[in-house]
Homo-oligomer: A and B are copies of this chain.
Amino acid sequence: MSLLVVGTVAFDAIETPFGKTDKILGGAATYIGMSASYFTNNINLVSVVGSDFPQENIDIITSHNINLDGMQIIEGQKTFFWAGKYHIDMNSRDTLATELNVLADFNPVVPESYKDCQFLMLGNLTPMVQQQVINQLPNRPKLIVMDTMNFWMDIALEDLLKTISMVDVLTINDEEARQLSGEYSLVKAAQKILTMGPKYLIIKKGEHGALLFDKDNVFFAPALPLEEVFDPTGAGDTFAGGFIGYLAKTNDISFENMKRAIIFGSAMASFTVEKFGTEKLHGLSKEEINNRIAEFVSLVQFDINLQ
C-alpha cells in the first residue's frame, strides 16, 4: 500500500556526552521514511529543503526507495537547521539553535502521483501545514497517523485540535499527553484525548517504552534496555516510521496488528539511538531487524497458567 510521509528534511548538529557532529542529515520525514523503507517500497515524501541541501543526502534518502518528487528545493534559501545538546541522562536536552529557513513559508504541495495514498504519516510540523496536506487528498487515506509536540499546544492549540480531530492515530510523549488532556494519569489522559477525534493514541515514553490505547484496550511495548544510548535524536520518528511502514506493508489496521507494528517501531528506534543521526538506520539487514525483534520477544514474553 502506498505511504505518504510529510515532515521536515533538515540539518542537525548534535552534541552528546559521547561526542558531537557537524551539520548532518536529519528531519522527521527523513527518519520516518528511512525506517518505513524496511517494510514497504512504495513511499512518497512531501517536504522542503534549501539549495544548500547536498546531493549526497538526496542520494541517501532515494537509496531507500523514497520518492522525492514532492520535496521542494527552494533556490537561494537554506534548509531547516536544528542544533541540540543532550544531558548525561539522555532524556533531556537543550536546543542550541533553531533556524526555520525554508520551513518558515512551507506550502506543502502533494503531487498528483501521490494522491492515491492509503497510509499518511504526518511528521511533527505546524498543525496548519499538516491540515493542508490532508485537504489536498481527494480520497481519505485508510489510516492517518499524526505526530506533534508541546510547542504547538503552547502557540497554536486551536489549529492543533482541529488537525487532531481529522486523524486516526496520534503519537505524543507522556508530558504532552498530560498537557493536552490536563490529566496527570496517562490512563485518564488517553481516555480524554480519544474523545478529541483519534481512534488510537500512542504515548511515547522514551527509554520507558510506549503505550497504545484505543477506547477499550491498552498495549505496552518496552524500549529495549541498551548498554549505551549514543544519540536519541530521531528515535520517536524512527518509531513512527517503523509503525506505519509495518501497517502499510500488512495493510491491516486492527488493534492486534498495531501491537506488532509498535514492536517493529520500537525495534527500529533501538537501532537509531546506537549511532549519531541516521547513520545506523542506513543499511540495516533483515537479519539484524529480525534478531532485534527476537530480543523484544524474549524481553517481555512469559507463560502463566492461572489456576
Interface size on A, residues (CB 8 A): 39
How far is it, in angstroms, between the C-alpha of A201 and the C-alpha of B259 when the chains are bound? Answer: 29
Shortest CB-to-CB span from A214 to chain B, Å, is 13
B225, B263, B294, B307: the one within 8 Å of A186 (CB): B225
Partner of A306, one of B208, B226, B293, B306: B293
B225 and A220 contact, CB distance less than 8 A: yes
Identical chains in the assembly? 2
Q: Which of A281-305 touch B at CB < 8 Å?
A: 290, 293-294, 297-304
Q: Chain A 175-216, CB within 8 Å of chain B: the 1/0 string? A: 000000000111110000000000000000100110100000
- How far is the CB of A306 from the nearest CB of chain B, in Å? 5
**A105 interface hit (Cβ, 8 Å):** no
Q: Contact between B260 and A303 (Cβ–Cβ < 8 Å)?
A: yes
Contact B185 A226 (CB under 8 A): yes
- Which has the most chain B C-beta neighbours within 10 Å: A88, A290, A301? A301
Q: Smallest CB–CB gap between A164 and chain B, Å?
A: 21
Q: Please judge, given known A-B contacts A88-B184, A188-B227, A205-B208, whether A304 and B293 are in contact too, CB under 8 Å.
A: yes
A185 touches B228 (CB 8 A): yes
A113 CB-CB contact with B under 8 Å: no
Given contact pairs A218-B225, A219-B300, A260-B303, a sample of 16 additional A-B residue pairs in the complex whose CB atoms are under 8 Å apart:
A185-B226, A185-B228, A188-B228, A208-B209, A209-B222, A211-B225, A217-B298, A219-B302, A220-B300, A221-B302, A256-B302, A256-B303, A260-B304, A263-B302, A293-B306, A297-B304
